[in-house]
Amino acid sequence: MPKVTILPHPTLCPKGKELANVKVGKSLCDLLLENDIEIEHACEKSCACTTCHVIVRQGFNSLEAADDIEEDLLDQAWGLEATSRLSCQAQVGEQDLVVEIPKYTINHAREHH
What are the tens digits of pLDDT across the range 66-86?
999 999 999 999 899 999 999
- Cβ within 8 Å of residue 73, ≥6 positions away: 47, 48, 49, 50, 86
CATH for 4-111? Answer: 3.10.20.30
The whole-chain average pLDDT of the chain stands at 92
Mean pLDDT, residues 95-112 = 76
pLDDT value at residue 107? 64
Mean pLDDT, residues 4-28 = 97
What pTM was computed for the model? 0.91
Distance CA 18, CA 61 (A): 20
Buried b (16+ CB within 10 A) or exposed e, 10-47: eebbeeebebeebeeebbbbbbbbeeebebbbeeebeb
